[in-house]
Amino acid sequence: MAIKWLTAFLDLPADSFGPEVTFWRAIAGSTVSPARGADREFASLEPFNGDPHLRVQRVKEGPGGVHLDIHVDDLRESTAHAKALGAKVVTESKSVVVLSSPAGFPFCLVPWQGEHERSRPIRWPGDTISIIDQLCIDVPAAAFDAECAFWATLTNWAWRQGVMPEFRNLQRPKDMPLRILLQRVGSPEVGGHLDLASTHPEEEVARHEGWGATVLEQQRFWTVMADPIGRRYCITHRNPRSGNLPDD
């Protein structure tokens, strides 16, 4: 399966869709595309340069979450490959195949539309440079090793041990806009969140708080945040261009 592009999708509840899009647009430093879809439920967060790798979807039920779109040349062949590795098909059409990983994380296979140019990080007033560049899949401990093997084989990206034993990074090609990180967690259910790379996390945190986010937890290399409706994400101290930690 040849992966041509990756998109992180924020699935947002209908009653908070507008304010959530405003928040994520602001911290990403992007504009918002015209709405599309049968119910105008989809939009892209458009960077000022490059092709979009962040999109939003209004969901009618439930709290929403985050999922991954994998853009491919051959939808049928890629679906067969994913199924052979243990993925389950949820729904299927000519334009999108919705699947879940062996641990239950949702992802979609979609036709590639020519996206190829990574957006550049945003330089904010002051010294801070940042970009939302990573999807972290939070995996229950019992399923962690098998889930890491699934994603490494599906993408054909080798994994590397993270800064702590509970993390593994998939080594993305240089032309891919998103990194995939897997984290072993104590929760019995799989989940996911977005990570932002920043040169000056303290300034980044303050900027996000100004848009209504809240600090939940402080670690050495990252700060766990909650957006205005409580959705978790992380501000990490990584190089926004390479995605690596400062001492990598």
Tens digit of each residue's pLDDT (9 = 90 or more) over 92-107: 999 999 999 999 999 9
Section 207-230 average pLDDT: 96
pTM of the complete model: 0.96
Secondary structure (H, E, C), the chain: CCEEEEEEEEEEEHHHHHHHHHHHHHHHCCEECCCECCCCCEEEEECCCCCCCEEEEEECCCCCEEEEEEEECCHHHHHHHHHHCCCEEEEECCCCEEEECCCCCEEEEEECCCCCCCCCCEECCCCCEEEEEEEEEEEEHHHHHHHHHHHHHHHCCCEEECCCCCEEEECCCCCCCCEEEEEEECCCCCEEEEEEEECCHHHHHHHHHHCCCEEEEECCCEEEEECCCCCEEEEECCCCCCCCCCCC
φ/ψ bin of 65: left (φ > 0), alpha (ψ from -120 to 50), beta (otherwise): left
pLDDT per position as a tens digit, 65-77: 999 999 999 999 9
User: What pLDDT sits at residue 162?
Assistant: 84
User: What pLDDT sits at residue 45?
Assistant: 98
User: What pLDDT sits at residue 247?
Assistant: 65
pLDDT per position as a tens digit, 167-213: 999 999 999 999 999 999 999 999 999 999 999 999 999 999 999 99
Residue 156's identity, in one-letter code, is N
Give 248's pLDDT tier (boundaries 50, 70, 90): low
Report the 10 Å Cβ neighbour count for 154. Answer: 23
User: What pLDDT sits at residue 62?
Assistant: 87
User: How high does pLDDT run on average in the chain?
Assistant: 96
